[in-house]
A = this chain, B = another copy of it.
Amino acid sequence: MKRMSPFRKLISYEEAKKIVLENVKPVEQTEEISIDEAYERVLAEDLTAKISVPPFDRAAMDGYAVKAEDTYGASRFKPKKLKLLGAAYPGKPFNGKVGRGECIQIATGCPMPAGANAVVMVENTQEREGFVEIYKPVYPIANVAPKGEDIEKGDKILKAGTYLTPPKIGVLAALGEKTVKVYVKPNVSIISTGTEIKEVGSKIEEGEIYDINSHTLSAVVMANGGSPVRYGIIPDSYEELKLGIKKSLKNDLIVLSGGSSVGTRDLLYNIIEELGEVLFHGVQVKPGKPTLFGLIQGKPVLGMPGYPTSCLSNAYLFLAPAVRKMARIPEREPKKVKVKMGHRFASSSGRAQFLTVKIRDGKAYQAFKESGAITSMSEADGYILVPVNADVIEEGEEVAVTLLE
């Protein structure tokens, strides 16, 4: 019987995260997509405005387009009287010219007619028998949005790397851009390992359990801007696992669960050692110590513990920021809330702890059930990462809870 091998040197969570982030690269490949699919994607080119917005001088208010000088001195008691030539409707500009002593009715957004240089708001006027009484003077350009006021043709308006939110999609639409060049989502290979692990939906026999990890890992990849590519379940066989890893190397990151523990079947470590280089094996974090990271042909390979809770908590700690960096959205941090601890919590693990909590009445309570229980995470609202050097969180102490989303 092969001896169980101990972990090599454990490294801190911070150090491990740094190594992972240093070894995953932002995607370079781009694709052209419709702006209606562009929400939450990342712009892959500097965008220069091909037109001005607005594309013409236009009324910024409903009212009457005038020559400003015709209104000087107007008041409710001494109105200025202008001849009404016609009207400009949206989509139907007024084609004539406004001369001295003349005006046209104009709606917000309509092009300003030739000759006019200001708009008197409808509230400050009264129309009577082909004339309009002006009750308040306006200065030139008043209530007019000049051409290019918002965006000038030739402006570099959005930079490569911009995360596309609704307002930014609005800019693309304003400029008439039907499609947009974005970075592709990073593809992440997901492999579950373990002879006892069976595909969800199949029948399980005594000693077998369902594959949880590839489903939770897929969800975490999606939540952080990546695209999961599942490679199924590989039994605990050196050759089969090696083959599976080789196949999956075409993607940007390879994530495995199981096979990284200190068991007799410490397969993943040996395969990465054979095909590439192990950068760390074993992290001072609880749960999730048996986490492993290496490179094969330059591709980052992240080995997660097989236990579903440890696998998922480490996915939040390592996989999520790695995928965000690859997807070029590193600044999009998960949602955090600040609450007070509802009870005293003492840690004696000597490791950083991923502490799942429920939030009730604005206070955080430990949600821990027992190691490995998926319900200890599914019933939690979020987690506190308790640093390795923090032994105790006192009742009432403020803590930052990262929501489990």
> Which of A's residues lie within 8 Å of B, judged by CB?
1, 3-4, 35-36, 39-40, 51, 53-56, 60, 62, 87, 89-93, 105, 107-111, 122, 127, 145, 149-151, 157-158, 165-178, 194-197, 200-202, 204, 206-212, 215-216, 218-220, 222-223, 228, 230, 235-236, 258, 261-265, 306-308, 312, 315, 335, 369-375, 377-378, 380, 404-405
Q: Can you add 10 more A-B contacts, CB < 8 Å, to A90-B194, A110-B207, A178-B200? A: A3-B127, A39-B219, A91-B236, A92-B207, A108-B261, A110-B196, A145-B371, A150-B374, A167-B216, A170-B374
Report the bound CA distance from A161 to B228 in whole Å. Answer: 26
Contacts of A3 in B (CB 8 A): 127
Q: How far is the CB of A362 from chain B (nearest CB, A)?
A: 15
Once the chains bind, are A166 and B220 in contact (CB under 8 Å)? yes
Report the bound CA distance from A223 to B36 in whole Å. Answer: 12
**Which of A40, A212, A371 has the most CB atoms of chain B within a 10 A radius of its CB?**
A212
Once the chains bind, are A62 and B262 in contact (CB under 8 Å)? yes
Contacts of A176 in B (CB 8 A): 200-202, 204, 210
Report the bound CA distance from A150 to B39 in whole Å. Answer: 38
Once the chains bind, are A167 and B404 in contact (CB under 8 Å)? yes
Contacts of A218 in B (CB 8 A): 36, 39
Number of chain copies forming the complex: 2
Report the bound CA distance from A142 to B102 in whole Å. Answer: 95
Q: Which of B145, B166, B222, B235 contacts A312 (CB 8 A)?
A: B166
Contacts of A306 in B (CB 8 A): 108-109
Contacts of A145 in B (CB 8 A): 370-372
Once the chains bind, are B374 and A215 in contact (CB under 8 Å)? no
**Which of A122, A174, A195 has the most CB atoms of chain B within a 10 A radius of its CB?**
A174
Report the bound CA distance from A251 to B140 in whole Å. Answer: 47
Contacts of A39 in B (CB 8 A): 218-219, 222-223
Once the chains bind, are B56 and A206 in contact (CB under 8 Å)? yes
20 A-B pairs in the complex with CB atoms less than 8 angstroms apart: A4-B122, A36-B228, A36-B230, A39-B222, A39-B223, A40-B223, A60-B372, A90-B194, A90-B195, A91-B195, A92-B207, A107-B263, A109-B209, A166-B219, A168-B378, A169-B215, A173-B216, A174-B212, A176-B201, A176-B202
Contacts of A236 in B (CB 8 A): 89-91
Contacts of A220 in B (CB 8 A): 166
